[in-house]
Chain A
């Protein structure tokens, strides 16, 4: 498991999270969440490397972005 998916509620929140992480030098990609990871239906996720997850979550938390969930992939 080299990556984690930070599951967001919407494409807009995922874009906001992705751009914020980029501005902190955290490499990421925004794409659609695999169906198995979403209970409520379609959503978008931000993928980060495992080694950067803790820092990514800290950045998101300090900017009041609350993900739906985090899953290893």
Chain B
């Protein structure tokens, strides 16, 4: 099988990730719960992972790196921390349900959506300028659309937030490890990311980078202040109740080291180049509507296409039988499909990782050309 669903999970991992998971299971117990060898090894690895993530994302203090079970968990923590009932938020029209469903659950919340055309960064900036007011509780914005690969102008949006004193939550689910993002430069309140996509860690890992203290969602043991019933008032303990996913985080550490070794810039160029190969290969193929831009500043290694004469899930099934893994449907992002006009049809999404090759893309294009697509 040739795997083009890295936007969901990077399926191919560096061998070092698998080895690290196994080693953690063999040698590590609970961090911060003792000074015997297995606990000390666990604590050492956990802190090293915080340090590596800090270095990759420009976080000054490793204590501000919080481990979560995925990006959804991290986003829930950030939203719970900043958005009150009856509050006001501004979001982009490209958000995932991991953002919009937690917002939907908050009573009497005013949600203002910046609905602007695909790949038009200027229009999006105008929209944010118009909607961010000083009484906005938070701006929540994805860095890259998980459906269309659209790179939102997050640096400029962060600048507007800083000017107006409004906290920013960034969903870096599709950019962490694939496109440079820097906590210090953005001055964000929180950046949420999964461990299992562009950071090449195992599923069940996620990270929240904190520019603010935040509020816990889970309450329980932290290995600190144990005589007190209130959760600790400091990071990371405040947001990390219970035993950590040690095998997962050990694998994440190996994944982060892999990313740092390759370099995020090189990974970005690779993803863009593969996406460009596909875009050019689909040019003139009237069977599909292709959502793509040749500008590397506005689209990452994710591309959606909509077959004109068949259902997107049917095409995905056909291609799966031909040996290609793609994601069809709505990608848990109805806002993005609504914004672009694909809310009824859905799309077929192609997304790549550092492990995909030009030969794989060519093979996919050849297989696609052979498909007879009927209504």
Contacts and interface: CB of A to CB of B under 8 A. Distances in A.
Contacts of B12: none
Contacts of A44: 32
Nearest to A29: B35
A42 B226 contact: yes
A12 B236 contact: yes
B223 interface: yes
B31 A42 contact: no
B215 to A, nearest CB: 18
Given A9-B225, A12-B236, A15-B44, 10 more contacts: A9-B224, A10-B236, A11-B31, A12-B46, A12-B62, A16-B62, A19-B47, A41-B224, A41-B225, A42-B223
Interface of chain A: mostly helix, strand, loop or mixed: mixed
A27 interface: no
B35 A31 contact: yes
B61 A11 contact: no
Interface in A1-50: 9-13, 15-16, 19, 31-32, 39-44
Interface residues of B, number: 24
B270 interface: no
9 contacts: A11-B32, A15-B43, A15-B44, A16-B47, A39-B227, A40-B227, A41-B225, A41-B226, A43-B224
Nearest to B221: A42
B42 to A, nearest CB: 10
A13 B44 CA distance: 12
Contacts of B222: 10
A10 B232 contact: yes
Interface string B228-258: 1000101011000000000000000000000
Nearest to A11: B32
A19 to B, nearest CB: 8
**Best-buried of B34, B47, B51 by chain A (most CB within 10 Å):** B47
B237 A10 contact: yes
A11 B63 contact: no
Nearest to B224: A10
A44 B31 CA distance: 12
A42 B237 CA distance: 12
A40 B225 contact: yes
Contacts of A39: 227
Contact of B61 (A16, A32, A40): A16
B50 interface: yes
Contacts of B35: 31-32
A12 B34 contact: no
Nearest to A10: B224
A32 B222 CA distance: 14
Contacts of A19: 47, 51
A20 to B, nearest CB: 11
B228 A11 contact: no
Nearest to A32: B35
A15 B43 CA distance: 9
Contacts of A13: 63, 234
A38 to B, nearest CB: 8
